[in-house]
Amino acid sequence: MDVDIKELHTQFWTTLKQNAEGLTGVQVLEALDEITEEIWNAGIDAAYIRATFVNETNINEAWDYVWMTALAIKLHKMHSRK
């Protein structure tokens, strides 16, 4: 099944921008660094290595959404603490 996820992608970016509002660029980069470590430490990257994908675009989009979700959560928490 081929699914158009363009609108979801657009809404993810809107959410990320909202969650980053009021944070500095350095804070956003620090959040990226932290979630990258968390994703690797949780072994999520290994799941992608073990998975078989027919369409490489699907794995790229899936990986983007893992990262975007983790970043949105992290930024939201940082923003809430301000």
pLDDT at residue 71 in the model? 94
Q: What confidence tens digit (pLDDT) does each residue in 18-57 have? A: 999 999 999 999 999 999 999 888 888 788 788 887 877 7
Q: What confidence tens digit (pLDDT) does each residue in 71-81 have? A: 999 999 987 77
Question: Alpha-carbon distance 36 to 70, whole Å?
Answer: 9
Question: Alpha-carbon distance 37 to 30, whole Å?
Answer: 11
pLDDT at residue 46 in the model? 83
Q: Who contacts 20 (Cβ-Cβ below 8 Å, separation ≥6)?
A: 28, 75, 79
- CA torsion, points 74, 77, 79, 82, in degrees to nearest 10? -130
Query: Exposure of 41 by Cβ count < 10 A (0-12 exposed, 13-18 middle, 19+ buried)?
Result: exposed
Residue ranges covered by each domain of the chain: 24-81
Q: What is the pTM of this model?
A: 0.78
Instruction: Give the amino acid at 54.
Output: V
